[in-house]
Amino acid sequence: MSSAPRIHVHLVAWTDEPWDLEESLFSLVTQEDVALSVSIAVSVEDEGFARGACARFSRLGRAVELGVGTPATWSPGTAAVAVWVGGTLAAPDHLARALVRCRADGAIAVAPARRVLRRSVPGQPPYVVRKTRRFTSVSPSLDELGRDPAFLGRCLVPTDRAPSWVPASPDEHHHWAAEAWPSGPVARVVGPPSVDLPDLRTWRGVRSLDDVRDALSELRYQGPRWLERRAPSAFGRIRGWYHWLRGGAH
Amino acid sequence: MPLLKIGIVLFENAPAELERLARSVAASEPAPGLEVTVRALDNSPDARLEPVVRALLGPVAYGWAGSNPGYGATHNRAMREAFGTGADAYLCLNPDAVLHPRCLEELWATASTPDTGLVDARTFPEEHPKPYDPERGDTPWCTGTALLVRPGAFRATGGFDEGLFMYGEDVDLSWRTRAAGFRARTAPGALVHHWVEHRPLTRERELRVLRSAAYLGRKWGDEAFARRYERLLRARTGRAVEIESPPVVAVGARRIADFAHGVRFARSRW
């Protein structure tokens, strides 16, 4: 019996792409230092595929309970809950780190994330065209997060703040979050992006200041990498000065 | 019956890591009719991993080298043995990896065309940003985390360049495989869990990367690239560092090498 804290993740399939479920499940069964219950909501036609995936992944022997269907409420004994859309991926330590943040002051933990633009390929997994960093404020609002339909995949909600019903459609995700958000603090998890969200937006143009912040966040990451590739010596010097200045500040 | 031999090079690995890997190998669904065997080659200073490996992978799976000749040299020895005894493919597999249950099946399916020399799995959850052709799988170079080698490619190239102790040997092997007329491909459906993003860039690792970059530049005829990384190496170590003279690649083959994207050796998708 695992003594690790239990997290319930509800995984919803919104696309017709079976690989989205497959990759999200592989990401979930390789999460570290947590015990997981995963419920999977799929269409009737995809139930057979989902059951097959559960059987495949259960052989990896991790502390994960996998089941197909939407439960009436969250599993008993669960410390926190998350709702993922198929295609969401996370670093292996994402849920454990988010749970630490939740437990500090009962906050809803929001992990830094990237948007992943994919292209469908017949008979193959989607091809990842690009990943871009999203700006995440210290206490993210629903307006800031909700521009991504799959935004709940980057959030971990303490069970006592989670609405007792389990959301399915994109509208339900927003309603569910709108019930959870006002009940207490919301806090960003410190560190680099640990979640990749499938970019399911129908409109990708600039609509708000948050979109500009996203672009700047990506630029801040890509700029040094561009310099590193083009002029590694200059990059090395600048990096040295940066660390020297940071060291000097302490 | 076709035979796939998996080779795992060890160096003082944690038993828990090997247990994860062994469980994923056992949970694999290889292609129907494909026979799979596993061999662990231990370059650790002592053989204390032997009982762990034997318990996890079976009584004949372990071999202790007694020294550490490097990743490429160890796999070369195992590949010579594997292809000498009739293996149809050899999989270089990192000990800190976890195979997706369908990884072997997908790798083997992609490797089945006669012009394919190398096939790599997609690393997960952080996929390598180098591009690949989404329909055909062709890629500038194959990563070594889970790298399937066909006998033809091994015979044509002689395997890894043993002058590269660590880092860049997969890039070099891919370029030489392509120069020999074989394809280097990614199997999009083959996933291998390999999480290294949290590892700090240690000084030792950084120096090895810089040395490999300079070596590759010299070997593939880009002197400016080689000098740039030699200068960096000198700046990091504070002294002149001698890069051993690599076997220089023929001029005609050099067009395959890509030094325009730093040590990523290919355009990055992100």
Question: What does the alpha-carbon distance between residue B107 and residue B121 come to, in Å, rounded to a whole number?
Answer: 7
Say if CB A101 and CB A30 are below 8 A apart: no
**How do residues B162-175 score in pLDDT, each as one tens digit?**
999 889 999 999 99
Bridge partners for A131 per DSSP? A116
What's the longest Cα–Cα distance across chain A? Answer: 61
Strand order in the sheet with B3-10: B62-64, B35-42, B3-10, B89-93, B146-149, B116-124, B183-193, B98-99
The yes-or-no verdict on residue A216 having pLDDT over 70 is: yes
Residue A246 confidence class, pLDDT cut points 50, 70, 90: low
Task: Identify the segments of chain B with pLDDT beneath 50.
Answer: none
- Residue B4's beta-bridge partner residues? B36, B89
Q: Where are the domains of chain B?
A: 3-193, 203-264
Q: Out of A59, A128, A192, whose CB is closest to B27?
A: A59
Task: Tell me the C-alpha distance between A185 and B226, whole Å.
Answer: 53
Predicted pLDDT of residue A243: 67
Give the three-state DSSP class for B165: coil
The whole-angstrom separation of Cα B157 and Cα B250 is: 13
Measured from the Cβ of residue A32, the count of other Cβ atoms closer than 10 Å reads: 15
Q: What are the chain B neighbours of A230 within 8 Å (beta carbons)? A: 262
Nearest chain B residue to A191, by CA: B198
So what's the pLDDT on residue B236?
87
A45 Cβ contact list (under 8 Å, min separation 6)? none
Angle at A20 between CA A15 and CA A22, to 5 degrees: 135
pLDDT of A250: 38
- In whole angstroms, what separates CA B40 from the centre of its chain? 15
CB pairs under 8 A between A and B: 85
Q: What is the Cα–Cα distance from B88 to B85, expressed in whole angstroms?
A: 9
Tokens of residue B157, six digits: 């190239």
N- to C-terminal Cα separation, chain A: 44
B133 shares contact with chain A (CB less than 8 Å): no
Distance CA B61, CA B38 (A): 6
Which among A121, A196, A228 is the nearest to B134, CB-wise?
A121
Question: Distance between CA A2 and CA A27 in Å, rounded?
Answer: 19
Report DSSP state, residue A67.
E
Q: How far is A79 from chain B (nearest CA, A)?
A: 25
Give the torsion through C-alpha atoms of A169, A171, A175, A178, to 10 deg.
120
Q: Measure Cα distances from A111 to A79, A100, A196, B98, B184 in Å.
A: 17, 12, 10, 24, 36
CB atoms A121 and B188 under 8 Å: yes
Contact A8, A74 (CB under 8 A): yes
Check if B262 contacts A (Cβ < 8 Å): yes
- Euclidean distance between CA atoms B270 and A128, whole angstroms: 9
pLDDT digits (tens, 9 = 90+) for A67-92: 999 999 998 899 999 999 999 999 99
Q: Are B124 and A23 in contact (CB < 8 Å)?
A: yes
Distances (CA, A) of A143 to A178, A203, B219: 10, 15, 54
* Torsion (CA) B78, B81, B87, B93 in degrees, nearest 10: -10
- Report CA dihedral (A193, A194, A200, A203) to the nearest 10 degrees: -10
- Contact between B266 and B178 under an 8 Å Cβ cutoff? The reply is no
Cβ proximity of A133 and A221 under 8 Å = yes
How far does A122 lie from chain B, in Å, by closest CA? 8
Q: Residues of A numbered 168-197 whose beta carbons fall under 8 angstroms of chain B's beta carbons: which are they?
A: 192, 196
Q: Would you say residue A202 has pLDDT above 70?
A: yes
Please give the mean pLDDT across all residues of chain A.
92
pLDDT in tens, B225-266: 999 999 999 988 988 888 888 999 999 999 999 999 999 999
Contact (CB<8Å) A30/B98: yes
Whether B197 sits inside 8 A of A23 (CB atoms) is no
Name which of B21, B62, B16 is nearest B43 in CA terms: B62
pTM for the model: 0.93
Strand partners, B146: B93
Average of per-residue pLDDT across A189-201: 96
Q: Which residue has the tokens 């017949």?
A: A122
For residue B232, the chain A residue with the least C-alpha distance is: A233
Contacts of B70 (CB under 8 A, 6+ apart): B43, B162, B164, B165, B166
Tokens of A216: 């700047």
Closest CA to B129 of B140, B118, B119: B140
Residues 6+ apart with CB under 8 A from B200: none
Chain B hits for A229, CB-CB cut-off 8 Å, are 261-262, 264
Query: Has domain B3-193 been given CATH number 3.60.20.10?
Result: no
pLDDT (0 to 100) of residue A233: 75
Q: Which of A92, A80, A84 is nearest to A153 (CA)?
A: A84
Question: Which residues in B lie closer than 8 A to residue A192 (C-beta atoms)?
Answer: 197
